[in-house]
Structure 1
Amino acid sequence: MCQHQPACPSADSADREAALPVAHHPEQGWSLLCNGVLLFEDTGELLPDGKVIAPHRPLAAGRVVTAA
């Protein structure tokens, strides 16, 4: 599917999110990468074979509260 040189990572590789976007719709919260992966704003993914990858964004750092 990818026509870039060097080729983008495949949908099966661990670094699949590094593939270049071919369609980007931030207003809808998704991008289609050239390896066929649908990457969602919440970091979830839908692979070309239908496998769903749950969102995996890091948890926000908690605020530190100090006593006065």
Structure 2
Amino acid sequence: MLTHQPSMPTPDSADRQDAVIVSAHPEQGWSLLSDGTIVFDDTGALLPDGRVVAPHRAVGPLVVA
């Protein structure tokens, strides 16, 4: 994991998505963040301690312009 000034959010914090992407794999649908979290294109995540964060999609009708 990287260190930053000011410090980056921890994997447990609500703003963990603000961590910096250190390795992106868009062809596979995931990225590794500087705090060790793996985030997926479907908005789910795998935390460094193995816990899973379920995808959190917006609820409501899809609006097509």
TM-score range (shorter-chain normalised) is 0.7 to 0.9
Structure 2 residue aligned with 1:18: 18
Unaligned runs of 5+ in 1: 64-68
TM-score (structure 1 length as normaliser): 0.82
Is it true that 1:4 corresponds to 2:39 in the alignment? no
Per-residue deviation at 1:60? 5.2
Q: Which runs of 4+ in 1 moved over 6 A?
A: none
Per-residue deviation at 1:57? 2.0
Query: What is the CA–CA distance in structure 1 between the aligned matches of 2:56 and 2:15, rounded to whole Å?
Result: 13
Structure 2 residue aligned with 1:45: 45
SS of equivalent residue, structure 1 residue 58? coil
SS of equivalent residue, structure 1 residue 17? helix
Unaligned runs of 5+ in 2: none
> How many equivalent pairs are there?
63
SS of equivalent residue, structure 1 residue 22? strand
